[in-house]
Structure 1
Amino acid sequence: MGFATAVLIRPRAALVLGRVSNLPTVVSNALAGLALAGTTLAPAPLLDAILALTLFYVGGMYLNDAFDAAVDARGRPGRPIPRGDAARGAVFVAGFALVALGVALAAHSGPVGAASGTALAVAILLYDVLHKKTALAPVIMGVCRFLAYAMAAGMAGAPPGTALLLGAAGLFCHVVGLTCAARQEAYDRLERAWPLAMLAVPLLGTLAASLQAGGGTVAGLALWIVLLAATAVALFRLFRRAPGDVPRAVALLIAAIALYDAILVAVGGGPGWAVALATLCFPATLALQRLVPGT
């Protein structure tokens, strides 16, 4: 059954389309954004930020597959729409609805949240529409994660400060590096390695922040060692280029976003529960990726 004849989004397809295994990194993004903004990590603003970012993430991923359906039918026929497990029209509707709900929730928090939420929605749509057509796609994806921090802070009424902008810049570089690798995942090979140098920026930035931090120094340094190890393993796989190495490396780098977030929460003086929660998002992502593909 082709993607043009499917009439429903099957339950398994709904999970695959949304790349829900990566949602723990959305939780850690919300924690880091609030911590860097210097706001109190109270349950209400944190849950609001997590919900809004989840709506944006899943909605954006749905739209990604909907816009790519024709291309996937040729190159990735196992994706839910080409194989007939989801109707392209239904995926479009669901994706736009989820993004719209994310904007509405962000706007409900106030003008700063409305502005950052709108900016994030625009960036997501730009990526989904253009990512197959421009070499700047990794940059647009990096902007999406950059704005995730800004929106979490904005929903708490905090405009972006220096700490948040620097932290978001490091996340931007990490995402640009992994997205450059992910663009070549369908071919299971890495043709251009130089963009991976971007991965050094968050490593150097978090090391410097951990060494300068007060109470978060020990936790920050311990998490930095884990982030360094995860990045090294991913790079080894990318350069080895054995069958399956590229997608596994990309999935690991996605999960490592949570480690980067956890370091920032630790060095930003976040409470122990917040550091622990952000840290647990890394193994949670890896575990969920075994059930639902993260890419």
Structure 2
Amino acid sequence: MRQGLRDWAELLRISALFTVPGDALAGAASAGLRPDRRTALAVGSSLCLYEAGMALNDWADRAEDAVDRPHRPIPSGRVKPAAALAAAAGLTAAGLALAHRAGRPAGLVATALASTVWAYDLRLKHTAAGPAAMAAARSLDLLLGATATGGTVARPSLLPAAALGAHTYAVTSVSRHETQGGAVAAPLAALA
């Protein structure tokens, strides 16, 4: 059982979870509001949607990982593909339910976020639209915290969401070429 938990922790990249609550908390702060129970629901929603994305990512990349990363949980047989897909669906449902408990506007933002996560993992990741989809997801995550806390998308939250999206776009663009080496245009554009 302990090994099974380790396999799932690896698939879900549990160590990266500590970065997730910051978006929702930054969203509340950008709206000029103190975090409250609805902010906590947004954080829970964000965590679930992030984990859904991790499971779905590895499910979608299972054929590629079988060649390039056979040690990963799915290609190594430690986690069944159907279980990873079911986890992604269940975590998405849980994330949406938590957001809807924070109010209809937060539920709508979480629905857009979940749709972006699924579109990115299943279709957009390896396309020119991949960095934009990842940027949209991070921006929506910040707006989820603002919307859940305040009950509506606060105008002051739009600029921080856009800045986070621009940063994410740059990092994602650079990371897409990190194994190819040599090209400096993307890193320089990201730095600018």
Establish whether TM, by shorter chain, passes 0.5: yes
**Which residue does 2:87 correspond to in 1?**
94
**Uncovered stretches (5+) of structure 1, i.e. residues with no partner:** 1-8, 202-295
What amino acid sits opposite 2:38 in the alignment?
A: P
Q: 2:34 aligned with 1:40, yes or no?
A: yes
What residue identity is the alignment partner of 2:43? I
| Other-structure match for 1:108 | 101
Percent of pairs with identical residues: 34
1:58 aligns with 2:67: no
- Checking the alignment, whether the CA contact within 8 Å between 1:37 and 1:158 is kept in structure 2 is no
Match of 1:10 in 2: 4
Equivalent residue, structure 2, for 1:214: none
What corresponds to 1:262 in structure 2? none
Structure 2 residue matching 1:156: 3-state secondary structure: helix
Structure 1 partner of 2:184: 193
**d(CA) in 1 for partners of 2:84, 2:172:** 23
C-alpha displacement of 1:196: 3.1
Q: How far does the alpha carbon of each residue in 1:90-121 deviate from its partner, in whole angstroms, 9 at most, with x for none?
A: 00000111011101111122111111010001
Q: In the TM superposition, what is the alpha-carbon distance from 1:190 to its structure 2 partner?
A: 3.2
| Amino acid aligned to 2:20 | V
* Cα separation, partners in 2 of 1:80 and 1:184, compared to 1, 3 Å: farther
What TM-score results when the alignment is normalised by the length of structure 1?
0.60
Cα distance between partner residues in 2 of 1:163 and 1:180:
27
Query: The residue matched to 1:40 in structure 2 has which SS?
Result: coil
Q: Secondary structure at the match of 2:120?
A: helix
* SS class of match (2:20): helix
**2:143 pairs with 135, 145, 150, which one?**
150
Q: Which residue of 2 aligns with 1:135?
A: 128
What TM-score do you get using the length of structure 2 for normalisation? 0.90
Output one character per residue of 1:157-201: Cα deviation in whole Å (capped at 9) or x when no partner: 44233321111111111111221233235xx34354333345447
Q: Higher Cα Rg: structure 1 or 2?
A: 1
Q: Could you tell me how far apart the structure 2 residues matched to 1:167 and 1:72 are?
A: 35
CA distance in 2: counterparts of 1:191 and 1:131, whole angstroms: 25
Task: Check the 8 A contact 2:24/2:143 in 1, yes or no.
Answer: no
CA contact (8 A) 1:39 1:158 kept: no
**In 2 relative to 1, CA 34–71 (structure 1 residues): closer, same or farther, beyond 3 Å?**
same
In the aligned structure 1, how far is the partner of 2:145 from the partner of 2:33? 10
Q: What CA distance in whole angstroms lies between the structure 2 residues aligned with 1:81 and 1:108? A: 33
Q: Give the counterpart letter for 1:37 in structure 2.
A: A
Q: Are the equivalent residues in 1 in contact too, given 2:55–2:88 (CA < 8 A)? A: yes
RMSD: 1.9
Secondary structure at the counterpart of residue 131 of structure 2: helix
Q: Please list the CA deviations of residues 235-287 of structure 1 after superposition, one character each: whole Å capped at 9, or x if unmatched.
A: xxxxxxxxxxxxxxxxxxxxxxxxxxxxxxxxxxxxxxxxxxxxxxxxxxxxx
Residues 147, 154 of structure 2: 8 Å contact kept: no
Structure 2 residue 48 is the aligned partner of structure 1 residue 49 = no
Measure how far apart 1:10 and its partner are.
Answer: 2.1
- Paired with 2:151 and 2:33, the residues of 1 have a C-alpha distance of 7
* Contact 2:31–2:157 under 8 Å retained in 1: yes
Show structure 2 runs of 5+ residues with no match. none
Q: Deviations over 1:110-140 (max 9, x none)?
A: 1111110100010000100124441210110
Q: Secondary structure at the match of 1:85?
A: coil
